[in-house]
Amino acid sequence: MTDTRATTHLYPAHDLAICTDANTAVERITAIYERSAQAIRDRFHAFARGEDCSEDLSACYPYLGITVDPKTLVSDARPAWGTVAYPGVYGTTLTRPDLFRDYYRVQIERLLHYHNSPVVVGVSNRPIPLPFVVEASTVDITPEQARALGGAFTLPDLAQIDDSIANGTYRPIGDEPQPLSMFTAERVDLALQRLYHYTATHPKHFQRFVLFTNYQRYVDEFAALGRKLMEDGNDEGYIRFVEPGDTEHELGTPAPDDSHRIKGLPQMPAYHLVREDRLGVTLVNIGVGPSNAKTITDHLAVLRPHCWMMIGHCGGLRRSQQLGDYVLAHAYVRDDHVLDQDLPPWVPVPPIAEIQVALQEAVARITGLSGADMKSRMRTGTVVSTDDRNWELKYQALYSRFNQSRAIAIDMESATIAANGFRLRVPYGTLLCVSDKPLHGELKLRGMANLFYRQRVSQHLDIGMEAVRLLRESGVEALHSRKLRSFDEPAFR
């Protein structure tokens, strides 16, 4: 076993305790966080009452570290997560154990098991920013007090919040520990706040399987399904349906009336079919465009879902396609450009075999198609995602590009979702439905679209739900493959 005491001076933390048990480590992480958070709450209320708050406030994030000896490295068939590749000192700040308790416990258990080294838990040197603990709007403060917040509390420092670890560009300075996690505590806290802002649901409701869509009709269908499963019962283990505004519909109870629902929907409303083990389904309507797709996946990734899948509409690019046909993406042309600085366009975004198989099997089961009929109604190929909603106006310039890429469909979100899944190590997949064929004169006219929607939305959503069921039953461990891992991958999944 590695002598961790010899390296404790290398951790940017104090009050370190050596832990050989994951539960003990998590309890200490929780105690440190709650003590710091309560100190911030108490000080803020004192500040709001006009009391003197000029003394230094010690309220920092918990810190987790481990020292790995060369003898304890996993050399043969290294697992996809839970281990480190090189000997040395590793560490990370942590936050919100109320949300991540089980996740932290599993990560620490893997570290202890694979490296036969204890972990250390202490108080980091990173203070918790006030907005990540207390919303100023919850207490009445004067404009003068609002301007004085920066002198009495730590506020978010964007210089300390980035994705350099996830992007593979982070390099420790001097003896600084290598990262244990892709996300620092501050990055996680920022994402949690943004999730609530954009989706109007608390992060605790998000499930490990996520479906994205770009049309409201899918949301209407999912909401109707969720309410029905709560009222009639189900054998999928769903115990609660949560809508924007944290409106909860418990199993076996009538649906809440409209007075319990928020009046205006947020930018990207989220709906959750909740299971006790969090292996339920979250549906997010990301609207139209790659910017929304990047925004929501940037923040949702900190919750470490087992996968996310896009089920939306696309334009078919092949004459042989019919309205209502399905497109299973196995490659992407990234003309969305929103991730070019984080993930260069030359980086390939490979298909995730387990998700491809689940989506294809789900199509077969829900539609009843097989053999040649299946191939004629579901085509596998390259999807172009563009940042130009009026790409049709550039037909002459784009025709050759579509032809050379062998593309079979075009949308504005799928490549972004897949690329960010690759970048942030969240398994991904795309199953689209052809809603028009602009290259061949079949435009999305109002009457045609309404008929198409009525016939296809329900079936398409059923396919997405069936794919989730198949992935859940086959075991989520198989989803987290090494193909998403980098050379110096952090240990945390």
How confident is residue 443, by pLDDT bands cut at 50, 70 and 90?
low
CA distances from 190 to 63, 71, 147, 194 (A): 18, 38, 21, 6
In CATH, the architecture of 201-484 is 3-Layer(aba) Sandwich (3.40)
SS3 of 211, please? Answer: strand
Q: What is the secondary structure of 48-59 as a DSSP string?
A: HTT----S----
The torsion angles phi and psi of 235, rounded to 5 degrees, stand at: -110, 20
**Is the predicted pLDDT of residue 145 greater than 90, yes or no?**
no
pLDDT above 90 covers what percent of the chain?
70
Helices and strands of the chain, counted as H and E runs? 12, 15
More confident of the two residues 450 and 333? 333
**Is the predicted pLDDT of residue 262 greater than 90, yes or no?**
no
What is the crossing angle of helices 446-474 and 216-232, to 10°?
A: 50
In CATH, the architecture of 4-194 is 2-Layer Sandwich (3.30)
**Is the predicted pLDDT of residue 144 greater than 90, yes or no?**
no
> Could you give the CA distance from residue 133 to residue 79 in angstroms, rounded to a whole number?
35
Pick from 112, 109, 121: nearest CA to 31: 121
Residue type, 364: A
On whether the CB atoms of residues 93 and 165 are closer than 8 A, the answer is: no
How confident is residue 453, by pLDDT bands cut at 50, 70 and 90?
low
How confident is residue 383, by pLDDT bands cut at 50, 70 and 90?
very high
pLDDT at res. 335? 96
On whether the CB atoms of residues 258 and 245 are closer than 8 A, the answer is: no
pLDDT above 70 covers what percent of the chain?
94
SS3 of 362, please? Answer: helix
Q: Is the dihedral of CA 51, 54, 56, 61 positive or negative?
A: positive
Q: Domain ranges for the chain, please list them.
A: 4-194, 201-484
The two tokens of residue 478 are 């198989």
Residue type, 441: G
The torsion angles phi and psi of 256, rounded to 5 degrees, stand at: -60, 145
Pick from 424, 193, 441, 232: nearest CA to 317: 441
Residue corresponding to tokens 């918790």: 128
pLDDT at res. 175? 87
> Could you give the CA distance from residue 195 to residue 266 in angstroms, rounded to a whole number?
11
Tell me how far apart the terminal alpha carbons of the chain are, to the nearest angstrom.
24
94-143 pLDDT tens trace: 999 999 999 999 999 999 999 999 999 999 999 999 999 987 555 677 88
> Could you give the CA distance from residue 144 to residue 141 in angstroms, rounded to a whole number?
8
On whether the CB atoms of residues 44 and 153 are closer than 8 A, the answer is: yes
pLDDT at res. 57? 87
57-80 pLDDT tens trace: 889 999 999 999 988 787 666 788
